[in-house]
C-alpha cells in the first residue's frame, strides 16, 4: 500500500508520438496523484491527452518518460507479462462499448475476471453486486437480451467483482441515453461511497463529471485545472474557458 492513501502516482509523465519535427507531445510532463476511496473525473477538449493519460495510468500504454506507481508498484518498469498480471489483480475497467462476451450470461460475464484468474467467486459478494446493479431477474440473460444500460451495469459490476485497487472508466456513459447514464454514474458513486472503491473516469459529459469528488482538466497535454467539479453547469462554464 502506498503512502498518504495515494493509490496512483504519476510523476513527470510525457508521451511523445513520432520523431523529429513531426513529433507530437500527447502528454507534456504531467505530475498528479489519486487518493484511495475517491471518484476523479478527467476532462479536456478532443486531443487534450485525457485518454492517453488514462491508458498510461492503467498500464495499457508506456510513457515516453516519467514514472507511474500503482498501489505501491512502479509499473513503468514492468514487462508485458507482469503488466498483464497487475491489471488482472489490481484493476477494473469499464469501457464505452461494454465489452461483454455475447455467449455468456450476465452473471458469467460479471465473474469473468475471477474465472480468468482462476479464482473462485465469493457468491455473497456476487449476489450483492447483482442486487446493487438491479439485475436480479437478468442473471441468466445474454447481452443481446439486455438494454444498453443493463449491459453497462453488468460491466460496472464486472469491474468491481475482484475488489480492485482502482476502477478505470473510459467514457462509461458515452453510448447511453441520459436515464441509463445517470444509473451507471450513481453506481460508480455508490462503489466509492459504500464499497470504498477508487474510480478514475475519463468523460466529455459535464453531468458525469459532476458526480465526481475531483475534476482534473487537460489541455494540449498539460494539466490546467484540478479542483472539485461543482455542478454540471459549473463544469460547462469551466470547459468553455479551457476550450
Q: Go through 81-118 and write b for each residue having 16 or more CB atoms within 10 A of its CB, e for each that does not.
A: eebeebbeebbbbbbbebebeeebbbbbbbbebbeeee
Are 88 and 117 in contact by the 8 Å Cβ rule? The answer is yes
Residue 142 C-alpha cell reads as 445474454
Q: Average pLDDT of 28-37?
A: 90
> What pLDDT does residue 49 have?
87
pTM: 0.87
Mean pLDDT to the nearest integer, 11-33: 87
In tens, the pLDDT along 147-203 reads 888 888 888 888 888 888 898 998 888 777 777 788 888 888 888 888 888 999 999
pLDDT, tens only, 201-231 = 999 888 889 889 999 999 888 898 888 888 8
Give residue 2's pLDDT: 41
pLDDT, position 1? 38
Domain boundaries, the chain: 37-52+79-242
216 — phi, psi (to 5°)?
A: -105, 135
Q: What is the pLDDT, as a whole number, of residue 53?
A: 92
Residue 17: per-residue pLDDT: 87
pLDDT score, position 237? 86
Summarised one tens digit per residue, pLDDT across range 45-81 is 888 888 899 989 988 888 999 999 988 889 888 888 8
d(CA 9, CA 184): 26
- Homologous superfamily of domain range 37-52+79-242: P-loop containing nucleotide triphosphate hydrolases (3.40.50.300)
Amino acid at each position: 500500500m502506498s503512502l498518504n492513501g495515494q493509490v496512483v502516482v504519476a510523476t513527470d509523465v510525457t508521451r511523445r508520438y513520432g520523431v523529429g519535427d513531426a513529433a507530437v507531445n500527447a502528454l507534456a510532463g504531467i505530475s498528479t496523484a489519486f487518493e484511495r476511496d475517491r471518484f476523479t473525473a478527467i476532462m479536456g477538449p478532443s486531443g487534450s491527452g485525457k485518454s492517453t493519460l488514462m491508458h498510461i495510468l492503467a498500464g495499457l500504454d508506456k510513457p515516453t518518460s516519467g514514472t507511474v506507481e500503482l498501489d505501491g508498484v512502479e509499473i513503468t518498469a514492468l514487462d508485458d507479462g507482469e503488466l498483464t498480471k497487475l491489471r488482472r489483480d489490481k484493476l477494473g475497467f469499464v469501457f464505452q462499448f461494454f465489452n461483454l462476451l455475447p455467449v455468456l450470461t450476465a452473471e458469467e460475464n460479471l465473474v469473468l475476471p475471477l474465472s480468468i484468474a482462476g479464482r473462485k467467486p465469493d457468491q455473497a459478494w456476487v449476489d450483492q453486486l447483482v442486487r446493487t446493479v438491479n439485475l436480479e431477474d437478468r442473471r441468466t440473460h445474454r447481452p443481446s437480451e439486455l438494454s444498453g444500460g443493463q449491459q453497462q451495469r453488468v460491466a460496472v459490476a464486472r469491474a468491481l467483482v475482484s475488489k480492485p485497487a482502482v476502477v478505470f472508466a473510459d467514457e462509461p456513459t458515452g453510448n447511453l441515453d441520459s436515464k441509463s447514464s445517470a444509473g451507471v454514474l450513481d453506481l460508480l458513486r455508490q462503489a466509492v461511497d459504500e464499497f470504498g472503491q477508487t474510480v478514475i473516469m475519463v468523460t466529455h459529459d459535464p453531468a458525469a463529471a459532476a458526480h465526481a469528488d475531483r475534476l482534473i482538466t487537460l489541455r494540449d497535454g498539460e494539466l490546467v485545472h484540478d479542483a472539485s467539479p461543482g455542478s454540471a453547469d459549473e463544469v460547462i462554464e469551466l470547459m468553455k474557458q479551457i476550450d
